[in-house]
Amino acid sequence: MLEERRHMRLAAKELRIQQQQKKAAERKEAQIVRAAEKQLRQDKQLSKTRAVRSKKVPAPPLDVVEEPEVVDVDVASIVDEVPASGPATRTRNIRLPYYY
């Protein structure tokens, strides 16, 4: 009887070990699949951003960029044209706490 129980325990132990190894292999395979899917998503996203960048018009070289034109204007004539505004009618209402 003891011998039979010992054989049953050994068989159960071997079965548990086999199941553990099978589960570990499945987890590792699932991990590899997830990593491959993640890499595929990243590559797809990267290719999209590269496609968008390639569609953009490149900036012209610095030697082609024109200098802005400088215009001499009399400041006094501009100041005369701007209407004078009165004092500000709205002021900021600051409410301090009571303990001040």
Question: What is the distance between the alpha carbons of residues 56 and 54, in angstroms, rounded to a whole number?
Answer: 5
Question: What is the distance between the alpha carbons of residues 14 and 6, in angstroms, rounded to a whole number?
Answer: 12
Residue 79: its pLDDT value, please?
A: 57
95: exposed, middle or buried (Cβ count in 10 Å: 0-12, 13-18, 19+) = exposed
Each residue's pLDDT, cut to its tens digit, for the chain (100 residues) gives: 889 999 999 999 999 999 999 999 999 999 999 999 999 999 988 888 877 666 666 666 666 556 667 776 666 666 566 566 666 667 777 787 777 5
Q: Which amino acid is at 52?
A: V
